[in-house]
Amino acid sequence: MGNSRSDIEVIYSAEAIAERMDGLAQEIAQLDSKKLAVIAILKGSFVFAADLIRAMHRAGMDPEVDFITLSSYGKSTVSSGTVDILRDVAIDVAGRDILLVDDVLDSGRTLAYAKDLLSARGAQSIRTCVLIEKDVARAVDIGADFRAFKSQNVFVVGYGMDMAYQFRELPFVGRVVNT
**Is 159 among the domain residues?**
no
**Is 2 among the domain residues?**
no
Kindly state the average pLDDT of the residues 83-99.
94
pLDDT in tens, 63-85: 999 999 987 655 555 555 678 89
Kindly state the average pLDDT of the residues 151-162.
94
**Is 122 among the domain residues?**
yes
Instruction: State percent of the chain over pLDDT 90.
Output: 80
Higher model confidence: residue 148 or residue 33? 148
**Is 143 among the domain residues?**
yes
**Is 164 among the domain residues?**
no
**The predicted structure's pLDDT at residue 124:** 96
**Is 170 among the domain residues?**
no
Which residue segment(s) compose the domain that 38 sits in? 15-151
**The predicted structure's pLDDT at residue 151:** 93
Q: What is the CATH number of the domain that holds 25?
A: 3.40.50.2020
Would you say 130 and 103 are in contact if contact means Cβ atoms under 8 Å apart? yes
Structural domains counted in the chain: 1
**The predicted structure's pLDDT at residue 4:** 62
Active-site residue list? 106
Residue 1's pLDDT band (cuts 50, 70, 90)? very low
pLDDT surpasses 90 at 118: yes
Predicted TM-score (pTM) of this structure: 0.91
**Is 166 among the domain residues?**
no
**Is 171 among the domain residues?**
no
